[in-house]
Amino acid sequence: MRRPLFFAVLALFLISTSHTANPEDKAIGSVDLSETAETAVPEEAPTAEIPAPEEDKPQEEPGAIVILDGALPEDAITQGTWEWNDPFKYGDPKSHTEPASEGITAHSYISAPIDVPDNYNIETYVYLDPAKPPQGILLRFRFEAEGREGDIGVYKEGEKEVFIFNDDEAVIYDGILPEPGKWAKWSVDPDDLGLSGAKIEGISFVVYGGKANWARTRFVPSKRYKDNAN
């Protein structure tokens, strides 16, 4: 049975219990974004076999706040293999990815905290390689709230459930995978993740099997924000 997106009560409970969890006790779906992670040197990826069409660009959003846009923050501490790809992009100078694998791969970073603005959604763009389509993708957010640190994940899967999580792990299911071979927007309401009023310290981009490219990540005004502005 699928876990619903809006299981907010469980998510908030999991968040409160996840702060003291030992990262080594987490299941295979977890990614450690601790400050002791070694700094990885980003590598340039080879030229993409199928470049994104020039007309295929993300819609500009007035008031959007960029988190990642073709480059890491200057103070970023990274973990995993970051491959940057110039010709294969979606409105950005570059997209980022990592080598394909049959199991879990993840590349992540931590940096100076960014406030989660009220009535904004978190939006990113992902491209699933049609030659090596993933079985699951996951975004994990490291955050600070009221002097405490924690993390929460949101994920998509195909027909088969591939991610395995501990009972005390804060994660939310967000539907089936997007279609391979085209850029797809992935939008998440921070309120559903219990991130209202929090600060994001880092993000992990997780892929189960296959390969995915990731483009622009930003805060975008939600419908609530636009309605209030009018």
Asked if the structure places residue 214 within a domain, the reply is yes
Per-residue pLDDT at 113 exceeds 90: yes
Compute the average pLDDT of residues 206-210. Answer: 96
143: CATH: 2.60.120
Asked if the structure places residue 147 within a domain, the reply is yes
Backbone angles phi, psi at 27, to 5 degrees: -75, 180
Asked if the structure places residue 91 within a domain, the reply is yes
**Which own/partner contact pairs does 174-177 have at CB distance under 8 Å and 24+ positions apart?**
174/5, 175/5, 177/128, 177/133, 177/134, 177/135, 177/136, 177/137
Question: 70 pLDDT band (50/70/90 cuts)?
Answer: confident
Asked if the structure places residue 174 within a domain, the reply is yes
Domain total in the chain: 1
Asked if the structure places residue 78 within a domain, the reply is yes
Per-residue pLDDT at 41 exceeds 90: no
Lookup result for tokens 């020039």: 54
Interstrand relation of 101-115 and 77-79 (parallel, antiparallel or unpaired): antiparallel
Q: What is the pLDDT of residue 2?
A: 52
| 3-class state of residue 200 by DSSP | strand
**224 vs 206 pLDDT, higher one:** 206
Q: Picking from 18-22, 78-82, 146-150, 202-206, which range would have the lowest pLDDT averaged per residue?
A: 18-22
Q: What is the pLDDT of residue 228?
A: 54
Per-residue pLDDT at 17 exceeds 50: no
Q: Which two tokens stand for residue 164?
A: 């395995």
Q: What is the pLDDT of residue 99?
A: 94
| CA angle, residues 130, 131, 137, in degrees to nearest 5 | 55
Compute the average pLDDT of residues 87-97. Answer: 77
Q: What is the pLDDT of residue 204?
A: 98
Asked if the structure places residue 58 within a domain, the reply is no
Asked if the structure places residue 127 within a domain, the reply is yes
Per-residue pLDDT at 22 exceeds 60: no
Longest dimension (CA), the chain: 48
Q: Which two tokens stand for residue 209?
A: 């099997």
Asked if the structure places residue 1 within a domain, the reply is no
User: What mean pLDDT value characterizes the chain?
Assistant: 79
pLDDT in tens, 56-66: 566 677 789 99
For residue 192, the enclosing domain spans 8-44+63-229
Q: What is the pLDDT of residue 83?
A: 94
- Helix, strand, coil percent content, the chain, rounded in steps of 5: 10, 40, 50
